[in-house]
């Protein structure tokens, strides 16, 4: 699970030259990790092909146009839960403390609730804890997957896979009206009803990993989260 989460994290990040260089090996690495079915891995092929074949500037422009203009498909999870309220700041502090408890420090200019960063944090946890924590924003992830699919965005594929891993079982009724994708009042109401939370569960035992997959993922390393060498 660890390597699959890291790869999904990188696929959902702002495209970089490093990602372009590593992209041709990602499908094989996902197969080695053994978490996803072949059909799920196949869903990622169009996005990975675009990362490999397109100009980096074009990829970056598309990413910014998709994720950084408006709240509807923001990758900042707490924005969908707390908006700009004071509660969001406290939630950020608590999430950052959980990263630090794993010996991780945020080194990138990014907020703790950025979904790719949250996935990187999850990749450090034992499998039972990963599944429990990933399920907490499952409804948000499902809604993001549906919104991306409505836009025919290639990024819908990794988000849809994450939704499945999170065990999300909602329906399109959880989305705001399609004719006003920026109006999240309906979705916010449902999230409040369902009490979307980011609690810290009890840690459990760890899991093994594939050495070949580990070597591949190491090449994808991002400086967003760094191990604190003084931890522990």
CA distance 229 to 220: 20
Lowest pLDDT segment from 1-10, 35-44, 110-119, 201-210: 201-210
Average pLDDT of the segment spanning 144-158: 95
Residues in contact with 110: Cβ distance below 8 Å, sequence separation at least 6, in sequence order: 117, 224
| pLDDT confidence bin for 68, thresholds 50/70/90 | confident
Q: What is the pTM of this model?
A: 0.75
Q: Domain residue spans in the chain?
A: 2-227
CA distances from 170 to 5, 73, 139, 156, 221 (A): 22, 17, 7, 16, 33
Q: Residue 158 burial by CB count (10 A; 0-12/13-18/19+): exposed, middle or buried?
A: buried
- How much is the average pLDDT of 89-111? 77
199-209: average pLDDT: 43
pLDDT at 214 over 90: no
The closest alpha carbon to 209, from 102, 123, 131, belongs to 123
């Amino acid at each position: 699970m660890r390597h699959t989460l890291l790869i999904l994290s990188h696929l959902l990040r702002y495209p970089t030259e490093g990602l372009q260089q590593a992209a041709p090996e990602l499908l094989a690495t996902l197969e080695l990790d053994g978490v996803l079915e072949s059909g799920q891995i196949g869903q990622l092929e169009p996005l990975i092909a675009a990362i490999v074949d397109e100009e980096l500037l074009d990829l970056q422009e598309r990413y910014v146009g998709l994720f950084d203009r408006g709240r509807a498909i923001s990758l900042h999870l707490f924005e969908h839960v707390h908006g700009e309220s004071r509660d969001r700041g406290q939630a950020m502090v608590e999430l950052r403390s959980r990263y630090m408890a794993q010996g991780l420090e945020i080194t990138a200019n990014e907020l703790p609730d950025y979904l790719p960063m949250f996935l990187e944090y999850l990749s450090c946890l034992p499998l039972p804890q990963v599944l429990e924590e990933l399920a907490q924003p499952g409804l948000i992830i499902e809604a993001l997957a549906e919104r991306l699919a409505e836009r025919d965005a290639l990024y819908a594929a990794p988000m849809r896979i994450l939704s499945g891993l999170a065990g999300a079982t909602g329906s399109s009724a959880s989305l705001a009206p399609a004719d006003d994708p920026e109006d999240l009042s309906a979705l916010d109401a449902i999230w409040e009803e369902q009490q979307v939370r980011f609690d810290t569960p009890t840690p459990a035992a760890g899991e093994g990993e594939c050495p070949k997959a580990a070597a591949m993922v190491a090449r994808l390393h991002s400086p967003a989260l760094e191990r604190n060498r003084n931890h522990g």
